[in-house]
A = this chain, B = another copy of it.
């Protein structure tokens, strides 16, 4: 991490010394360097109350402030206080907070070879060349960033565990313990992705979860792991998905598969996080019955109540795969007797590769409104971190990590504008008009990106494999279960009861909302319905005209944003990165606009009502 990028903590220029080992010590150190910069008149006392654990209370009498909390609580309180002061917010006399979710996780998809799957911020911060390779100062700064927004678990390696990453819980344990020690003073626990078939590397000819030798191997291995790292958060597993091994290989269901691992972790207080991302990635495109978004529900919901207490099912926010627009996953609404975590993706796999600006707060707010905060007991997010000079790739992508922390701490507090404004204030301290301009760009960025990419929830019109740029038919005749079936008359899949029946997986309110053309939101119309190009939208435009309009508007937004950004007085390094990326975004947006519009023009034969250029 380079010193010209302090992200939302510019008032903490000094790194935390390695000698500090408790969160309370870190809290005192941070306050001591920050207060003279942001509020020299303020004094802060810290009072430990271990029973409060992660919660904290901030009490103020004039300029004397007392933070009370558990070890982690006082650290969270201290960062909250510093950010409030730095942002010039008025403090209430007494302010109590506790996190909504006990586990607020970041998932790195870092491979041992240093590559990051779907990473757009450079190489891994952890690994290179098939081994650990990190800068301890940099990891310490990352731990600080996480703690400052309340994030408390870091899974350090890719869920697709490839040789030699399995060694993390074997002969690499001493080094793993050293990394854990860097994060521990910040209240951040490590988690490790494991290979479900790992026992087979040790002379056992099966990974069957009901096989006693497999159980014994994991029990023993967990003892070894926890002897080295007693506070490891647990294991993360991707099983039976996209060619990963899993219990299906042995005719076992996922409760049997997950519980076996959970029982090995249980004596040590570890969690078993099990990703619910199972579908047939070898589907025949001719098959109009199988509907990929239905797969997770079909594989998991019948198992509700059968998972052990320390198992957490981690479910992506939408039923497909982090598309620009998805309805909430119905699986999250259908397993009341199971511990559930929602999984977001901060890495902009389908949302612009941290080249295009895409602030995610609006998506979180909408999904959480449909989900409700008490269906889940944890949150996870695929990280957008890497070894680039700016660890988020794009300086503005920092707002997604910042906001995700606040969201997972307590979703009710996570309104999009509040997050954008606080992040902008802390990061750049701009004049009000400039701050307003930046906040507006962030808040509009998602809608703009959505407008110039795949229209109205149809998804997947993206370049295969890389997932950047348009390819409207790129996944159409493939095996991935991701089709739009555009023809000369119509586009989209009927997922209501008269079609694939996907909408039937929802409770009645959502089912009814999505199934009716009267109430289905415009931006999900082509997710749930197959519509003719001359279908008349609620605002009176035809579907085809709406597609054209959106694409022209999305692209115009980028052109205007480029002008506004050019006028913003950002720090030099940020400014250079931001301007370089917006020029690439502009190119991308134009390509999307013209390809998608051409694609539908060639099918529909309908000219743009405003006479703009379409390409035959």
**Which of A44-52, A67-75, A382-390, A470-478 contacts its partner?**
A470-478
A324 adjacent to chain B (CB < 8 Å): no
A4 adjacent to chain B (CB < 8 Å): no
- Given A470-B477, A473-B472, A473-B473, A486 contacting B615 (CB threshold 8 A): no
A485 adjacent to chain B (CB < 8 Å): yes
Minimum C-beta distance from A180 to chain B (A): 40
- A486 pairs with B286, CB closer than 8 A: no
Minimum C-beta distance from A360 to chain B (A): 28
A602 adjacent to chain B (CB < 8 Å): yes
Residues 577-616 (chain A) with a chain B CB within 8 angstroms: 591, 594-595, 598-599, 601-605, 615-616
CA distance A471 to B286 in the complex (A): 15
- B477 pairs with A605, CB closer than 8 A: no
Interface majority SS on A: helix, strand, loop or mixed? loop
CA distance A488 to B533 in the complex (A): 13
Copies of this protein in the assembly total: 2
A163 adjacent to chain B (CB < 8 Å): no
A14 adjacent to chain B (CB < 8 Å): no
- A616 pairs with B477, CB closer than 8 A: no
Residues of B within 8 A of A489 (CB): 605
Residues of B within 8 A of A591 (CB): 477
Instruction: Give the residue name and chain of the B residue nearest to A604 (CB).
Output: B488
Instruction: Give the residue name and chain of the B residue nearest to A613 (CB).
Output: B286
- Given A286-B615, A603-B603, A615-B286, A598 contacting B488 (CB threshold 8 A): no
Residues of B within 8 A of A598 (CB): 477
Produce 1/0 per residue, A453-497, CB < 8 A to B: 000000000000000001111100100000001111100000000
A-B residue pairs in contact (CB < 8 Å), sample of 9: A286-B615, A473-B473, A473-B599, A487-B601, A487-B602, A487-B605, A488-B602, A488-B603, A488-B604
User: 18 more A-B contacts (CB under 8 A) besides A471-B477, A485-B616?
Assistant: A285-B615, A286-B594, A470-B477, A473-B474, A477-B591, A477-B598, A485-B602, A486-B602, A487-B601, A487-B602, A487-B616, A488-B488, A488-B602, A488-B604, A488-B605, A489-B605, A602-B603, A603-B603
